[in-house]
Amino acid sequence: DAGVIQSPRHEVTEMGQEVTLRCKPISGHDYLFWYRQTMMRGLELLIYFNNNVPIDDSGMPEDRFSAKMPNASFSTLKIQPSEPRDSAVYFCASSLGAGMGSPLHFGNGTRLTVT
């Protein structure tokens, strides 16, 4: 299996522009997560889905952030409009099932820079 695939690997954009990050989870995994990594706060959970349905979006910073999962093999995280403080590495992860014995498998991340 190719693992969790994220695109793009790097994104540089200007403040105010729309940014869309993409994720393809591991086939057969029923949970999908979006995390953000910053120096100050480490890895923060933004939102997660179970069977394509958003379960918990309490970590989404504000209305500028939105995430969708139209099918089991694709998810997007959109920021509109983007701001410099959104600069971070965004990780997508997937897992099979919940709890013990179901570790998260992470993609290699998208490094977002907003100037």
Partner 1 sequence: DQQVKQNSPSLSVQEGRISILNCDYTNSMFDYFLWYKKYPAEGPTFLISISSIKDKNEDGRFTVFLNKSAKHLSLHIVPSQPGDSAVYFCAASVQGAQKLVFGQGTRLTINP
The residues that touch partner 1, with contacts defined as CB under 8 A, are 4, 31, 33, 35, 40-45, 48, 50, 56, 91, 93, 95, 98-100, 102-109
Kindly tell me which of 109 and 112 has the beta carbon lying closer to partner 1: 109
Please state the closest distance from residue 82 (CB atom) to partner 1, in A.
22
Residue (36 or 114) nearer to partner 1, CB: 36
**Please, what is the minimum distance in Å from the beta carbon of residue 58 to partner 1?**
9
Distance between CA atoms of residues 70 and 22, nearest Å: 12
* Contact criterion met (CB below 8 Å) for 95 and 103: yes
The answer to whether residues 20 and 1 touch, using CB atoms and an 8 Å cutoff, is: no
Q: Which is nearer to partner 1, 15 or 98 (CB)?
A: 98
